[in-house]
C-alpha cells in the first residue's frame, strides 16, 4: 500500500523531471501574449539561464519546434514581437539563485477568445474563426491547447513546471463567465500533465488600463474575479503600463513593465513555498 501511494505521488507531482532546478512556465493567450510591439536591441540581450521551447518551426530563426533556445524574442510564432514573457523570465532569473534556470513555452493566437483553448470545444470555435486567424491556428496543428500540452510534456522531461502565465480577455470583453472558462482550461492542463493545483499557480495579466486609453479596460473587473474561482491564481496589474494608439496593445516599455510584474509575483510565490 505504501509503495502504491508513493508511485501515485511520484507521477502526480512532476518528480520525474530530469532537473529540479529547471523551472518551466507555460504561457498562452491572445495578441498581447503572442507579442504585438516590436522588440528593441535591449530585448535581445541573451541570458544563459533563460530558455524558450520553440512552439513552431522558424527556418529564418534557425529554430525547430520542440527544441530549447536562448529566450530572445520572438517567443511564440516566427514574426511576432515582444511579450510579457520576455521580461518575466529575465526578472525571475535575476531574482533566483544562479543554480536555477528558467524555461518558457508560449502558445498564443492573436484575436482569439478563451474558447480556442477549451479542450473539448475548440473545434467549433475554429470552424467560425476568420480566415486570418485560422492561418495562425494552423501553425499549431489546428489545436493550440493540444500544442501547448505536447510541448509541456516535452518540457517535463527536462524540468519542473512551476507556473502558468495568461494574458487574454480582449475578445471576451464583457463575458462574466470568463473566469469559469479559464478555470476549465487550467484544470484540464493540470489533469493532463499530472500536476497538483497547489503546486502550479496561474498568473493572469490585466488588459490595457482605462488610464492608458484601454478599449477593453471594462474587462479588468471580470479578470479581478479570477482568484475567487481559482484559489491559486493571481492578477497582475497593468497600471502605468504604456499602451500604443490602438488602445488594445502595450508598447515595448509597457510589455517590459507588465512582464517584470509577472516575474516579481512569481518570485514572491516561489520564495514563500
Catalytic, out of 20, 141, 246, 253:
246
Contacts of 127 (CB under 8 A, 6+ apart): none
- Residue 167 among the catalytic residues: no
Quote the longest CA-to-CA distance of the chain: 62
* Nine cell digits for residue 202: 496561474
Tell me the sheet residues that pair with 233: 202
What is the spatial distance between Cα 202 and Cα 270, in angstroms, rounded to a whole number? Answer: 13
Catalytic, out of 233, 249, 251, 260:
249
Catalytic, out of 31, 76, 251, 260:
31
What is the spatial distance between Cα 22 and Cα 101, in angstroms, rounded to a whole number? Answer: 5
Angle at 89 between CA 198 and CA 229, to 5 degrees: 30
Of the candidates 210, 236, 241, 240, which has an alpha carbon nearest to the alpha carbon of residue 223?
Answer: 236
DSSP string, 108-150: E-TT--GGGG-TTTHHHHHHHS-HHHHHHHHTTTT-HHHHHHH
**Cα torsion at 25, 189, 82, 56 (round to 10°)?**
100
Cβ proximity of 58 and 79 under 8 Å? no
- Residue 246 among the catalytic residues: yes
What is the spatial distance between Cα 109 and Cα 117, in angstroms, rounded to a whole number? Answer: 10
- Residue 59 among the catalytic residues: no
Catalytic center residues = 31, 246, 249
Amino acid at each position: 500500500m505504501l509503495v502504491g501511494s508513493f508511485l501515485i505521488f511520484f507521477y502526480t507531482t512532476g518528480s520525474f523531471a530530469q532537473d529540479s532546478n529547471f523551472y518551466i512556465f507555460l504561457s498562452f493567450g491572445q495578441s498581447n501574449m503572442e507579442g504585438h510591439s516590436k522588440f528593441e536591441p535591449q530585448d535581445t540581450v541573451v541570458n544563459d539561464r533563460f530558455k524558450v521551447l520553440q512552439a513552431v518551426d522558424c527556418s529564418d530563426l534557425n529554430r525547430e519546434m520542440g527544441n530549447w533556445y536562448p529566450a530572445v524574442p520572438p517567443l511564440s510564432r516566427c514574426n511576432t514581437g515582444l511579450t510579457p514573457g520576455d521580461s518575466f523570465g529575465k526578472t525571475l532569473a535575476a531574482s533566483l539563485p544562479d543554480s536555477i534556470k528558467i524555461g518558457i513555452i508560449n502558445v498564443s493566437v492573436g484575436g482569439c477568445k478563451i474558447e480556442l483553448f477549451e479542450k473539448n470545444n475548440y473545434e467549433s470555435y475554429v470552424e467560425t474563426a476568420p480566415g486570418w486567424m485560422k492561418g495562425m491556428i494552423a501553425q499549431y496543428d489546428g489545436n493550440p491547447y493540444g500544442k501547448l500540452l505536447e510541448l509541456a510534456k516535452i518540457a517535463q522531461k527536462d524540468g519542473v513546471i512551476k507556473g502558468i502565465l495568461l494574458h487574454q480577455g480582449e475578445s471576451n470583453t464583457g463575458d462574466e463567465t470568463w473566469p469559469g472558462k479559464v478555470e476549465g482550461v487550467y484544470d484540464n492542463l493540470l489533469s493532463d500533465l499530472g500536476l497538483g493545483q497547489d503546486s502550479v499557480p496561474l498568473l493572469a495579466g490585466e488588459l490595457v488600463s482605462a488610464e492608458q486609453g484601454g478599449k477593453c479596460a471594462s474587462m479588468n473587473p471580470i479578470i479581478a474575479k479570477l482568484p475567487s474561482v481559482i484559489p491559486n491564481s493571481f492578477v497582475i496589474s497593468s497600471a502605468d503600463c504604456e499602451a500604443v494608439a490602438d488602445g488594445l496593445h502595450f508598447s515595448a516599455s509597457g510589455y517590459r513593465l507588465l512582464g517584470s510584474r509577472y516575474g516579481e509575483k512569481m518570485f514572491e510565490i516561489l520564495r514563500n513555498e
